Amino acid sequence: MRIRVNPNLCQGHNRCFSLAPELFEVDEFGLATALNDGRVPAGMEEKAQLCIDNCPEFAISEIED
């Protein structure tokens, strides 16, 4: 599974980072980027999906690997 944060949609709520600091990093403005080029480590898929579902801006999406 691979995910991406759309930088044009992310508003820096930090919710994804709070839910899964293993999957995201945030800059000084709280804007998120997916770690590891978006590749979700094995066993973390459910957490990644939780972040996708909980982003208030719909900024996180699954992309083709």
Residues at the site binding ligand SF4, with contacts judged by CB under 6 A: 5, 10-16, 30, 32, 55, 57, 59-60
In whole angstroms, give the CA distance from residue 35 to residue 12: 16
**Minimum separation from the CB atom of position 5 to ligand SF4 (A):** 5
In whole angstroms, give the CA distance from residue 58 to residue 22: 19
**Minimum separation from the CB atom of position 64 to ligand SF4 (A):** 19
**Smaller CB separation from ligand SF4, 12 or 35:** 12
**Torsion angles phi and psi, residue 13, rounded to 5:** -70, -20
**Minimum separation from the CB atom of position 21 to ligand SF4 (A):** 11
Do residues 53 and 3 lie in contact, with contact meaning Cβ atoms separated by under 8 Å?
no
